[in-house]
Structure 1
């Protein structure tokens, strides 16, 4: 290679390294929260079961839906719609969203009685919503999440280009070497699961494409969103309420017909529009637990007579491609082994972000005294990188300690999680990092052990045991990290040296 070509190559790599560092830095803490909660969402049904230990009843999807509709008929008033998700191999309750007397509710219903389960909680839904909404009002949370996803994609691509020895260094880790150790860890975590990281980031970005790139829709449809949705889902049946009361026809024959139409695939979701009205519509969707593509078919019935109104199976290439991309990101199709691989890939991406944020500070501390901005960033690292998981554990502990019958129990759990994260962030900003790291990591380890032992230590069924084992595994993995932080606090300050080239 000529000297000019080598100089151009090195200059391009330096530009990519600069872009990689700054894109990761600007939204690094937001990305950490998004990736952490997204990783936890892989086990959303298992977390929900762990947080409802009293809900042990099981029933087939059709039987559970029938029980839920019987309860809703008796306990909802002037409802405009019931939106029900049937149980499956991973979730044993019916997730119901409905309005009653002008109040919108979301509840977990017992699959046998149809009544709400004893312990009111959002369960794993909290992590799922936090993952892409960040507890911010619509659409601001989703816009921030999509901006962070764009930043993540840029950071991944520039990181690959900037790295000189990507295949050699990926299997190299030199512990207790300061900046070099952090760089080795960051490289290994980022590169070993690089295909997964790109896939999950790209698919997540596309799930929010209507927010990021709305101009195609507005150019084609203007303000006529009803026509757009009709073209997007031509199988849907929408009817305005007639105002004339009519009893809902028996659902069992509708569900049997639907399951036959789906080729034996179990029922996944049932939506009842205008229940109790002559213009009621019952729409049934198949379970997406066995297909990557999300909700590929639907069938609608007249709610008053039970007659089939429309059946639709999606075959359009563009729509099926989007549904497959969405399904890849959500991973509802994933069998047990694939689900664990998703979890491992998500955990590696989360840790790659965390090590990158720490590496930024370590590199600059070894060169010269930290600037005021970097000192603030260093304390933000302590507060955010420990505060987010501490808040997640506080959410689980609150689920066990709050009385079952208190008003707004689910909202109280969420408030405890957020306030605990805020307190950890404040401690991280106040305490010197040499003290803040071991204190907050120690608090996280104690919280994980406490959450595991507050519930049944070895409950019936793998879903509940899985969460306990994950909590204990995190606590065990934190012990050497805490020990190292304590040793560093006692050790003399390191001698500054020139940074190692990346």
Structure 2
């Protein structure tokens, strides 16, 4: 630290941010989109009907459907509809004797033809809904910590490595700032490097508590992957026992079904759970050994305004309605971990707080993007003196264009793929993900071929056009467009279309600014021009 502590922290801040900045931008953008993954998933399955019945009616319809569809199943699991997700999802597990091996070359078993089955059901009628196959918003959720095309375990190590670098960059950035509160209010446009530095500072300080929280809690969510040795030391033979004890889970239901007997109406069990929880809503339920004398039902509480991700559950005898047990009271460590996880996912947030989280995530994207661009802006004058652009700067310029301007193209392409790919296409959800990466790969390739300022403008314009046209493509291909959703007051669906339009306008403005931007003259260039002007006037 021969240059002093603060200078050393500035050096560390620069390089920890730059080395993982482009992947961090992908993680931040996908994670930010995940705050509305339920709304995105619904938009990407326009065939799903809106729920107009109570959760009790939906639950009764679900049970009747499963009694017809999977009467011999070992268990049924039902996720009830809510305001954000009107569809009713259900899964069942058939006896092992009913499992059929996949055909040669088949990577997944046909739905309902193997050990496991699933269905999406209209809660109003109890009839199965034929909706397009898509990962919806879950694609972004998984992308922000599982990446894609690489083994999940390696992806999570990579994301954790990036998160740790991000945490170091946040801490060193705070240390580096001499006037951190002043920087919140300081932005000087049209000042070249100074403007980029001000923009980076403002975007960093504006949501600093959020940046620190989301980075630290992101690491905590995967702490057992990164630090598994304690569990292995305490539970060398049965690591699953640790998770059952630590996360306050009810015991697994074991043993075969015995006899046949009609169960109580599911509404009665749900009502008992609500009374136990002082009116809290039910998220779903699992029926073990359905239709048997020893059938039991687990009822799960819906995420409400609890900070913790760990929600209570209750177990009832399906025939008598007697409460058998509830999830154990969590200890202090479990509660702390649940709150950390809950803060990261923000499932507790109402619409206003979720919007605040989303805006904070967008500011985080701007912070990361301005940081990687700032490095190139600072380096360019050094290369200008030598008369040529070095490999390092050219590489960073290309990556900046391909990530900052190219990622919006990839995100928009994902939504286009959802509307334009054939509905009957096999492995359709994987094809949508491929569209995302094909578009991003094309943007990166173009940036490497010509990493110039006009490439910034062109890619921003392409992203703007693709986002702004999504509502039109939606109107041409589905019935769930703005002309319908606005009249029906269906704001979750309309909000997705409206955001696409607004974001397209923002990207178009950025592209226009980049196209017409002129870098400010350096002090040496100003002096040279003044001397030339004075010499011309003297002549």
Q: TM-score, normalised by structure 1?
A: 0.89
User: Do residues 373 (structure 1) and 387 (structure 2) align?
Assistant: no
Q: Distance in 1 between matches of 2:130 and 2:458?
A: 37
Residues 1:223 and 1:436: Cα distance change in structure 2 (over 3 Å): farther
User: Do residues 201 (structure 1) and 215 (structure 2) align?
Assistant: yes
Map 1:89-104; keep pairs closer than 5 Å.
89-98=83-92, 100-102=112-114
The count of aligned residue pairs is 489
Gaps of 5+ in 1: 1-6
Map 1:36-185; keep pairs closer than 5 Å.
36-58=29-51, 59-76=53-70, 81-98=75-92, 100-102=112-114, 108-114=120-126, 115-135=128-148, 136-185=150-199
Match of 1:3 in 2: none
Residues 1:268 and 1:132: Cα distance change in structure 2 (over 3 Å): same
Q: Distance in 2 between matches of 1:408 and 1:401?
A: 15
User: Do residues 441 (structure 1) and 453 (structure 2) align?
Assistant: no
Bigger-Rg structure (1/2): 2
Residues 1:373 and 1:133: Cα distance change in structure 2 (over 3 Å): same
Alpha-carbon distance, 1:234 to partner: 4.3
User: Do residues 255 (structure 1) and 270 (structure 2) align?
Assistant: yes
Q: Distance in 1 between matches of 2:258 and 2:524?
A: 81
Q: Deviations over 1:51-105 (max 9, x none)?
A: 2233233133333233334333433487555443322222211234455443656
Q: Could you say what secondary structure the match of 1:432 adopts?
A: coil
Alpha-carbon distance, 1:331 to partner: 1.0
Match of 2:513 in 1: 484
Q: TM-score, normalised by structure 2?
A: 0.83
Alpha-carbon distance, 1:229 to partner: 2.7
Map 1:410-425; keep pairs closer than 5 Å.
410-425=429-444
- State whether residues 190 and 520 of structure 2, in contact with CA within 8 Å, keep that contact through their aligned partners in structure 1: no
Q: Deviations over 1:352-397 (max 9, x none)?
A: 0011011111110122244212311210111122332222211212
Q: Distance in 2 between matches of 1:375 and 1:25?
A: 14
Q: Distance in 1 between matches of 2:311 and 2:84?
A: 21
Q: Which moved more, 1:151-160 or 1:310-319?
A: 310-319
- State whether residues 286 and 295 of structure 1, in contact with CA within 8 Å, keep that contact through their aligned partners in structure 2: no
User: Do residues 192 (structure 1) and 221 (structure 2) align?
Assistant: no
Q: Which moved more, 1:361-370 or 1:342-351?
A: 361-370
- State whether residues 88 and 123 of structure 2, in contact with CA within 8 Å, keep that contact through their aligned partners in structure 1: yes
Q: Deviations over 1:309-335 (max 9, x none)?
A: 312353422222221221111111111
Residues 1:170 and 1:226: Cα distance change in structure 2 (over 3 Å): closer
Residues 1:220 and 1:89: Cα distance change in structure 2 (over 3 Å): same
User: Do residues 27 (structure 1) and 27 (structure 2) align?
Assistant: no
- State whether residues 247 and 330 of structure 2, in contact with CA within 8 Å, keep that contact through their aligned partners in structure 1: no
- State whether residues 40 and 127 of structure 1, in contact with CA within 8 Å, keep that contact through their aligned partners in structure 2: yes
Match of 2:297 in 1: 282
Q: Distance in 1 between matches of 2:245 and 2:464?
A: 51
Alpha-carbon distance, 1:400 to partner: 1.9
Q: Which moved more, 1:211-220 or 1:231-240?
A: 231-240
Q: Distance in 1 between matches of 2:395 and 2:113?
A: 50
Q: Deviations over 1:427-483 (max 9, x none)?
A: 222233323211211111011011122221241311112112211111111222211
Match of 2:338 in 1: 323
Q: Distance in 1 between matches of 2:295 and 2:442?
A: 49
Residues 1:236 and 1:402: Cα distance change in structure 2 (over 3 Å): same
Q: Which moved more, 1:463-472 or 1:251-260?
A: 251-260
Map 1:267-306; keep pairs closer than 5 Å.
267-273=282-288, 275=290, 281-302=296-317
Q: Distance in 2 between matches of 1:182 and 1:331?
A: 31
Gaps of 5+ in 2: 94-111, 475-480, 526-539
Alpha-carbon distance, 1:268 to partner: 1.3
Q: Could you say what secondary structure the match of 1:43 adopts?
A: helix
Q: Which moved more, 1:71-80 or 1:364-373?
A: 71-80
Residues 1:404 and 1:149: Cα distance change in structure 2 (over 3 Å): same
Match of 2:503 in 1: 474
The one of 4, 14, 17 equivalent to 2:7 is 14
- State whether residues 42 and 343 of structure 1, in contact with CA within 8 Å, keep that contact through their aligned partners in structure 2: yes
Residues 1:128 and 1:69: Cα distance change in structure 2 (over 3 Å): farther
Q: Could you say what secondary structure the match of 1:314 adopts?
A: coil
- State whether residues 248 and 275 of structure 1, in contact with CA within 8 Å, keep that contact through their aligned partners in structure 2: no
Residues 1:26 and 1:106: Cα distance change in structure 2 (over 3 Å): farther
Q: Distance in 1 between matches of 2:134 and 2:120?
A: 8
Residues 1:418 and 1:272: Cα distance change in structure 2 (over 3 Å): farther
Residues 1:72 and 1:129: Cα distance change in structure 2 (over 3 Å): farther
The one of 437, 462, 465 equivalent to 2:491 is 462
Residues 1:39 and 1:483: Cα distance change in structure 2 (over 3 Å): same
Q: Distance in 2 between matches of 1:236 and 1:476?
A: 51
Alpha-carbon distance, 1:238 to partner: 0.9
Q: Distance in 2 between matches of 1:161 and 1:84?
A: 50
Q: Could you say what secondary structure the match of 1:52 adopts?
A: coil
Alpha-carbon distance, 1:44 to partner: 1.5
Q: Deviations over 1:187-207 (max 9, x none)?
A: 100001101111111112111
Q: Distance in 2 between matches of 1:321 and 1:418?
A: 37
